[in-house]
Structure 1
Amino acid sequence: MSRSLNDWQAAAAALKFDGRPVIGGVRVDARSGETIEKTNPATGKVISQIHACGQEDVDLAVAAASAAYASGEWSRAGVGFRRERLLELARLIEERADEFALYDSIDMGKPVRESAAIDAPGSAALYRFYGEAIEKQEDLIPVTAPGSTALVTREALGVIGVIVAWNYPLEIATWKIAPAIAAGNAVVVKPPVEASHSTLLLAELAVQAGIPAGILNVVTGRGSSVGKALALHEDVDMLAFTGSTEVAKQLQQYAGQSNMKRLALEAGGKSSNLIFADCDDLKLAAEKAAFGSFYNQGEVCSANSRIFVERAVYEEFLGYYAEAAKSYAPGDPLDPASGIGSLVSEAHADTVWATVENARRDGTIVAGGTRPEINGSRAFIEPTIVTNVPADHEVHTREIFGPVAVVTPFDSEDEAITLANGTPFGLAASLWTGSFARAHRVSQRLVAGTVSVNTVDALGFTTPFGGFKQSGFGRDLSVYALENYTDYKTTWMQWG
Structure 2
Amino acid sequence: MASKVDSFVKIPTIKFTKLFINGEFVDSISGKTLETIDPRTGEVIARVAEGNKEDVDLAVKAARHAFDSGPWPRFPGSERARIMMKFADLIDQNVEELAALDTIDAGKLFSAGKAMDIPLVSSNLRYYAGAADKIHGEVLKMSRQFHAHTLREPIGVVGHIIPWNFPSTSFFMKVSPALAAGCTMVVKPAEQTPLSALYYAHLAKLAGIPNGVLNVVTGFGSTAGAAISSHMEVDAVSFTGSTEVGRKVMQAAATSNLKVVSLELGGKSPLIIFDDADVDLATQLALTGILHNKGEVCVASSRVYVQEGIYDELVKKLVEKTKAWIVGDPFDPKVQQGPQVDKKQFEKILSYIEHGKREGATLLTGGKSLELGGKGYYIEPTIFTDFKEEMLIAKDEIFGPVMALAKFKTIDEAIERANQSKYGLVAGIVTKDLNVANTVSRSIRAGTIWINCYFAFDNDLPFGGYKMSGFGSDFGLDALYKYLKVKSVVTPLYNTPWL
Q: For this structure pair, what is the TM-score category when the shorter chain's length is used for normalisation?
A: over 0.9
Distance 1:253 1:146, change over 3 A: closer
CA distance in structure 2 between the aligned counterparts of 1:79 and 1:18, rounded to whole angstroms: 30
What's the CA shift string for 1:423-442, capped at 9, x where partnerless? 00000000111111111111
The alpha carbon displacement at 1:322 in A equals 1.6
Shift of residue 329 of structure 1?
A: 2.5
| 1:330 shift after superposition | 1.2
Mapped pair 1:490 → 2:488: yes
Partner deviation per Cα, 1:271-307 (whole Å, 9 max, x = no partner)? 000001021x111111111001110000000101100
Aligned ranges 1:193-232 → 2 under 5 Å: 193-232=191-230
Aligned to 1:357: 354
Task: Choose which of 283, 288, 292 in structure 1 pairs with 2:285.
Answer: 288
1: CA distance between counterparts of 2:32 and 2:161?
21
> Is the 8 Å Cα contact of residues 17 and 47 (structure 1) preserved in structure 2?
no
The one-letter code matched in structure 2 to 1:335 is D
Are the counterparts in 2 of residues 429 and 457 from structure 1 also a CA contact under 8 Å? no
Tell me the equivalent position of 2:128. 130
- CA displacement at 1:146 relative to structure 2: 7.3
The answer to whether the 8 A contact 2:4-2:373 is kept is no
C-alpha contact (below 8 Å) 2:447/2:464 kept by paired residues: yes
Number of the residue aligned with 2:88? 90
- Which of 299, 309, 312 does residue 312 from structure 1 map onto? 309
CA distance in 2, matches of 1:324, 1:475: 35
Aligned to 2:118: 120
* 1:101-112 correspondence runs (5 A): 101-112=99-110
**What is the count of residue pairs matched by the alignment?**
492
CA distance in 1, matches of 2:317, 2:487: 55
Distance 1:360 1:34 in 2: 42
Equivalent pair of 2:147/2:490 in contact (CA under 8 Å): yes
Q: Equivalences for 1:333-482 in 2 at 5 Å?
A: 333-361=330-358, 362-482=360-480
What's the offset of the Cα at 1:5?
A: 11
Percent identical residues = 38
8 Å Cα contact 2:188-2:225 kept in structure 1: yes
For 1:428 and 1:10, locate their aligned partners in 2 and report how far apart those are by CA, in whole Å: 35
AA matched with 2:414: A
| C-alpha deviation, 1:7, in angstroms | 12
Deviation at 1:136, TM superposition (A): 3.2
From 62, 71, 74, give the equivalent of 1:76: 74
Secondary structure of the residue aligned to 2:17 is: coil
2-structure distance, mates of 1:351, 1:230: 27
Alignment of 1:146-295 (within 5 A): 148-279=146-277, 281-295=278-292
Structure-1 separation of matches of 2:100 and 2:333: 13
Cα offset for 1:457? 3.0
The amino acid of 2:473's aligned partner reads: R
- Tell me, in whole angstroms, the C-alpha distance in 1 between the residues paired with 2:4 and 2:254: 52
Q: What is the TM-score of this pair, normalised by structure 2?
A: 0.96
- Residues 110-169 of structure 1 deviation map (CA, whole Å, 9 limit, x = unaligned): 111111111110000000000002233432111135763212121101100000000000
> 8 Å contact 1:365–1:387 — kept in the other structure?
yes
TM-score by length of 1: 0.96
Structure 1 vs Structure 2 CA RMSD: 1.7
CA distance in 2 between counterparts of 1:382 and 1:465 reads: 30
- SS at 2:286's partner residue? helix
Separation (CA, whole Å) in 1 of partners of 2:6 and 2:350: 29
Deviates more, 1:169-178 or 1:372-381: 372-381
Instruction: For 2:322 and 2:351, locate their aligned partners in 1 and report how far apart those are by CA, in whole Å.
Output: 20
* Partner Cα separation in structure 2 for residue 268 and residue 327 of structure 1: 29
Partner of 1:81, secondary structure, is: helix
Mark the runs of 5 or more structure 1 residues left unpaired by the alignment: none
Partner of 1:49: 47
Q: Do the aligned partners of residues 448 and 190 (structure 1) sit closer, same or farther apart at CA in structure 2, a change above 3 Å counting?
A: same
Q: Post-superposition shift, 1:414? A: 0.4
Shift of 1:325: 2.2
Return the offset for 1:326: 3.8
Change (3 A) 1:9 1:153: farther
* Whole-angstrom distance in 2 between the partners of 1:143 and 1:390: 57
Q: What residue is the counterpart of 1:32 in the other structure?
A: 30
Matches within 5 A, 1:1-20: 9=7, 12-20=10-18
How far 1:15 moved relative to its partner? 2.1
Structure 1 CA distance for aligned equivalents of residues 12 and 298 of structure 2: 32
CA distance in structure 2 between the partners assigned to 1:141 and 1:8 by the alignment:
60
In the alignment, structure 2 segments of 5+ residues that lack a partner are 495-499
Structure 1 residues 301-348: Cα deviation after superposition (integer angstroms, max 9, x where no partner): 010110001111111111122223245321001111111100001221
**Separation in structure 2 between the aligned mates of residue 495 and residue 452 of structure 1, nearest angstrom:** 51
2:332 maps to amino acid? D
Cα separation, 1, equivalents of 2:276 and 2:9: 49
